[in-house]
Copies of this chain bind each other. A is one copy, B any other.
Amino acid sequence: MATMADVAKLAGVSVMTVSRIINGSGTVKESTRKRVLRAMEEMNYVPKGYTKQVIQHEISTLVLIVPDITNPFFTFIARGMEDVAKKQGYRVFLANTDENINKEKQYIQMCIEFHADGVLIAPVGDDSKANLELLDKQGIPFVLIDREVEGVQVDVVKSDIIGCSRALVEHLIELGHRRIAVVTGPSNNRASRERVEGYLQALERNHLVTSEEFMKRSTMTRDIDPKFIDELLNLEEPPTAMFVANMFQYAHAVRRLGELGLRIPEDMSIVGFGNSDYLAAIDSAFTSAIQPTYSFGSLGTQMLIERIEGLHEMPRRIVLEGDIVIRRSTAPIL
C-alpha cells in the first residue's frame, strides 16, 4: 500500500507539498499539482478520507479537434493521442469540425467553457487563426497536426507532404507517364498547396511541363463530386495517370472509371495519399504515400503535455517522412 511519502518521492516533491495539494491549502504551481496527481494515480494512492473519484476528478482532459473523423487518417491520430494521454493520466475527447470553420469555433469555445487543459488540432485552414487565438487568449496550450496555419507560431507535427508528392509523381514518370494530372483540395489549406508544390517539383526535375487543364481542385472529404474525372477524360489529350489527394478521391475515381468501363492501371494509373490504416487497406490496390499519423497523435500529445506542464517554451516543428507503397493501381504506360 502506497504512502504519501511514496507519492512525494515519485513526484519529486516534499510530503508537505503532497499534503497541500490533497487539502487544497496553500499555493502550489499547477504543473506541480498535476505531476503529484499523476503520481497518486500511478501508485493507486487514495488519501484517507478522500474517494478515488475526487482524485480522478482532477485528472486533466485533452481535446482532439479534427476535420473528419470518418477519415482513417484522423482516427489514427486519435489512436496515437489516446495511447500517450492514457499512460500519463490524461483523458481525451474528440471533436469533428467537418472542415467547417464555424464548427471549429464552436468546439474551441466548448473547450474553453469546460476548461480543457490542452488541445491537439488539425485546423480547417488558414482561417483557423482567429479560432486558435481564442485558445491562446485563455492560456489553453495547443499543438497543430498535419496543417500549419500562416502566422501561428506553435508546436506542429506533420509529414513531408511535398517530398511524398514528389516521390509519387516521380514513380509515374519512371513508369513512362508524361501526361499526369493532379487533383487537390481547397487552396486555403496548406496541405493542398504542398501537394501541388511536390507535383511541380517532380515535373521540373524531369524537365516536363504541365498545363492548367491537368490541375484540378476537389474536396478532401468523402462527399466528392467526381466531375474532375470526366473533365480530365474529356480533354483532347487526356492524362494517362493521376495524382489524387487522398483515399476518398481515389475511391471516387475507381468508381467513376469503373462506370465508364475504364481499367486501372491499364487505362489510368493512380497514385495519391492513402489510407493510414494498414489493416483497412490490406487488400487495396492503391499505390500511395502513407503518412505516419499515429506519430502525429503520439508526438503531438507528448509536446502538448510538456506545454501544459510548463516544461517547454520554444515552438517545435516536427516533419516526419512518409512511406511510398507501390501496389497495383500503377503500371508502365502501354
Contact = CB atoms under 8 A, between A and B. Distances in A.
Nearest to A254: B282
Contact of A56 (B76, B78, B106, B283): B106
Interface string A53-79: 100110101010000011010011011
A69 B70 contact: no
Contacts of A56: 106, 109
A188 to B, nearest CB: 22
Given A70-B72, A79-B69, A95-B92, A251 B275 contact: no
Given A70-B78, A95-B94, A110 B281 contact: no
Given A248-B279, A283-B286, A53 B109 contact: yes
A79 B72 contact: no
Contact of A75 (B69, B92, B252): B69
Contacts of A86: 98, 103
A222 B279 contact: yes
A76 B56 CA distance: 31
Given A282-B255, A284-B283, A61 B91 contact: no
A57 B113 contact: yes
A91 B106 contact: yes
Contacts of A79: 69-70
Interface in A18-72: 53, 56-57, 59, 61, 63, 69-70, 72
A214 interface: no
B61 A110 contact: yes
Interface string A223-256: 0000000000000000000000001101110110
Which range holds the interface residue count of chain A? 35 or more
Contacts of A98: 82, 86
A167 B286 CA distance: 30
Contacts of A61: 110
A277 interface: yes
B69 A91 contact: no
Nearest to A114: B114
B96 A78 contact: yes
A326 interface: no
Contacts of A286: 283
Given A93-B94, A283-B284, A283-B286, 12 more contacts: A56-B106, A70-B72, A82-B96, A91-B106, A91-B107, A92-B95, A92-B96, A114-B114, A250-B282, A252-B279, A254-B282, A275-B280
20 contacts: A57-B109, A63-B93, A69-B78, A69-B79, A70-B75, A70-B76, A70-B78, A70-B277, A82-B98, A91-B95, A91-B107, A93-B110, A94-B95, A94-B96, A114-B114, A247-B280, A251-B279, A283-B284, A283-B285, A284-B284
